[in-house]
Amino acid sequence: MSRPFSPSARLREPANGLAYSSLVERVADEGARAWDVHVRGRELEAEGHDVIFLGVGDPDFDTPAEITRTAIDALHNGRTHYPGAAGIPELRAAIARYRTERTGQPVEADRVIVCPGAQNGLYVTLACLVEAGDEVIVLDPAYATYRATVRSSGAEPVGVPLRAENGFHLDPADLAAAVTARTRAVLINFPHNPTGAMVEADELSALAEICQRHDLWLVSDEVYAEVTYDGRSQRSPALVPGLEDRTVVIDSLSKSRAMTGWRTGWIIAPGGMAAHIENVMQCMLYGCAMFIQDAAVTAVSREFQETSAMRAEFSVRRDTVAARIGAIPRLACLPPEGGMFLMIDIRETGLDSLTFANRLVEEEKVVLLAGASFGASAEGFLRLSLTSPRAQLERACERLARFTARL
């Protein structure tokens, strides 16, 4: 039986009349509730149901064995001490070389700050760039944590729509219209999560002109940059004239090397910003585990057959699921240009995305995320993660077709 469910009700009032800071409310937004349906799926699984989880972007591939061996060897060699807040010199230098070889952007090692994943990198970056009273432009839809992360800095997120009729591509006119006197930064990620759209050269040029005209920082989350399809590649904004000295790049090994649980990422900061980031990192966690950083040196210093095979498999899954969804009456999808997600258009069913997602997990035991959780522009869509084996994806499509046929 379907029932309302909201794990966000886990939030409790303080005991004994004590009060929490306003931060707890600022971060408890729709993005935080995006995972409610996933938690409900875990409840149903614990009850013995066969639940298919297609909500979280966690690749179903093992980390390449050589990377894991490096970490194990480092542990045996006593690499368990304080590493320094900015990262070990070997890794900072390796990331600088990796960035230059992959994108052509010249990067010095002292501009690289190692952090425990891109999410932490974003949090620290915004702490250095914005404060209360500022505005940060984010794309709508946006990755579920973006708005809360902006609010945690004291600033306010301002959404710029990515429109479905435009393939969820950025319209510079919408971006320009969102800028106010309080705008301090623009936060983007391409290939885009959740839609899989990429950013074209003319869009980047227009973005550069807007940032220059209004003297804005640009924060570019590039964690999906190596997961692209159809021979495409995503150019980093940091390479665009006019953006070099105002772009902060955030990246990680989570997606490109199937290392989500290792929590290893980095920030590439322009100018003298790295010193400020390092100061924030010192009072936040004082560095990532040294043995994990040793493994990260291996991860960025060579190519791995496993990661190439992973990218090829994602491409096959994308095409397979797109074809299956396209054959289901009243459903449609826009195959992603990059990333690990596919957006399902459910608008012809008459259900809003949250109702559809909640009913789907209750009735067919399939977890997909409601588009509305990522922003108003994704209402009428569901996000499906391609990070499950093909057989599992096929089963999910069968259940989805069965559910839609009953509507």
pLDDT tens sequence across 272-331: 999 999 999 999 988 999 999 999 999 999 999 999 999 999 999 999 999 999 999 999
Pairing of strands 52-53, 366-367: parallel
Residues above pLDDT 90, as percent of the chain: 89
198 band by pLDDT with thresholds 50, 70 and 90: very high
How many Å apart are CA 30 and CA 133, to the nearest integer? 21
Domain assignment present for residue 168? The answer is yes
- Tell me: do 165 and 131 sit in the same domain: yes
How many Å apart are CA 99 and CA 103, to the nearest integer? 6
Residue 234: both structure tokens together: 């995503």
Tell me, what's the pLDDT at 49?
98
The last residue of a domain, from among 282, 301, 320: 301
The last residue of a domain, from among 240, 272, 301: 301
What is the number of structural domains in the chain?
A: 2
- Tell me: do 22 and 155 sit in the same domain: no
Instruction: Find where tokens 């794309």 sit.
Output: 139
Domain assignment present for residue 72? The answer is no
CATH classification at residue 165: 3.40.640.10
12 band by pLDDT with thresholds 50, 70 and 90: low
How many Å apart are CA 217 and CA 247, to the nearest integer? 6
How many Å apart are CA 349 and CA 6, to the nearest integer? 24
**Comparison of pLDDT for 82 and 31, the residue scoring more:** 82
- Tell me: do 235 and 97 sit in the same domain: yes
Tell me, what's the pLDDT at 279?
95
Q: Which of 386, 339, 338, 352 is nearest to 56 (CA)?
A: 386
DSSP type of residue 234: P
At 343-374, the pLDDT tens digits run 999 999 999 999 999 999 999 999 999 999 99
Residue 135: both structure tokens together: 């505005």
- Tell me: do 317 and 382 sit in the same domain: yes
Bridge partners (DSSP) of residue 248 are 219
Q: How high does pLDDT run on average in the chain? A: 94
Asked if the model's pLDDT at residue 210 lies above 90, the reply is yes
CATH classification at residue 337: 3.90.1150.10
User: If 0-12 CB within 10 Å is exposed, 13-18 middle and 19+ buried, where does residue 303 land?
Assistant: exposed
- Tell me: do 218 and 278 sit in the same domain: yes
- In 3-state terms, what secondary structure has residue 21? coil
The last residue of a domain, from among 301, 329, 351: 301
- Tell me: do 117 and 26 sit in the same domain: no
- Tell me: do 317 and 396 sit in the same domain: yes
Work out the angle at residue 110's Cα, subtended by the Cα atoms of residues 145 and 269, and round it to the nearest 5 degrees. Answer: 35
- Tell me: do 90 and 171 sit in the same domain: yes
- Tell me: do 192 and 157 sit in the same domain: yes
Bridge partners (DSSP) of residue 384 are 342
Asked if the model's pLDDT at residue 5 lies above 80, the reply is no
Q: Which of 126, 56, 119 is nearest to 252 (CA)?
A: 119
How many Å apart are CA 308 and CA 62, to the nearest integer? 13
Tell me, what's the pLDDT at 31?
61
How many Å apart are CA 338 and CA 191, to the nearest integer? 5
Across 3-12, 134-143, 189-198, least confident range: 3-12
Rounded mean pLDDT of 203-214? 97
Domain assignment present for residue 70? The answer is no
Work out the angle at residue 71's Cα, subtended by the Cα atoms of residues 389 and 308, and round it to the nearest 5 degrees. Answer: 35
Name, in order, each residue with C-beta under 8 angstroms of 364's C-beta and a sequence gap of 6 or more.
Answer: 399, 400, 402, 403
The backbone torsions φ and ψ at residue 32, rounded to the nearest 5 degrees and listed phi first, read -65, -30
User: Cis (ω within 30 of 0) for the bond into 191?
Assistant: yes
The backbone torsions φ and ψ at residue 266, rounded to the nearest 5 degrees and listed phi first, read -160, 160
User: Cis (ω within 30 of 0) for the bond into 141?
Assistant: yes
Q: What is the pTM for the complete model shown?
A: 0.93
Tell me, what's the pLDDT at 9?
45
Domain extent for 315: 7-62+306-406
Rounded mean pLDDT of 204-230? 97
